[in-house]
Amino acid sequence: MSKHEPPTKLDTIGKAMWRRLAPLVDLTSEINVVYLHKACEAHSLYAKANDQLMAEGFTITTKLGGVKPHPAMQAQITSDTRFKAYCKLLGLNEPTTEDNGGDPFDEFRS
């Protein structure tokens, strides 16, 4: 495997993010390879949780008829936090609104 090729264990979403971020990271460092892998896993989980929320809504009905937040919301929040943390460890800064003229995370959304 070339250092710029994604690990086979990543899913399609994770591999796509790997291909976007790998050229920006020093992959001669083994810890950076691990961090990038973890960042790509987190991004994939975020995208899947987001898709689930879009399909099923942001709340669920309990057995007793109450309403509570969809469990995928916590998965989305946690994976977003992990993604940002690993990117920071890799020295990747979040783009600012001024840099791209819009939402600072547009480029990381699938």
The C-alpha angle 29, 38, 26, rounded to 5 degrees, equals 25
Quick check: is 110 in a domain? no
Phi/psi of residue 13, each to 5°? Answer: -65, -45
Two tokens, residue 32: 């950076």
- Helix%, strand%, coil% for the chain, nearest 5: 60, 5, 35
Quick check: is 108 in a domain? no
Amino acid sitting at position 97: T
Quick check: is 2 in a domain? no
pLDDT computed for residue 43 by the predictor: 96
pTM listed for this prediction:
0.79
- The pLDDT of residue 82 is above 70: yes
pLDDT tens digits along 31-81: 999 999 999 999 999 999 999 999 999 999 999 999 999 999 999 999 999
Quick check: is 40 in a domain? yes
**Number of domain units in the chain:** 1
State the Cα–Cα distance between residues 97 and 42, nearest whole angstrom: 23
State the Cα–Cα distance between residues 27 and 21, nearest whole angstrom: 11
pLDDT computed for residue 1 by the predictor: 47
How high does pLDDT run on average in the chain?
87
Note down the domain range covering 45. 12-93
Residue 97: which pLDDT band, with cuts at 50, 70 and 90? very low
Quick check: is 102 in a domain? no
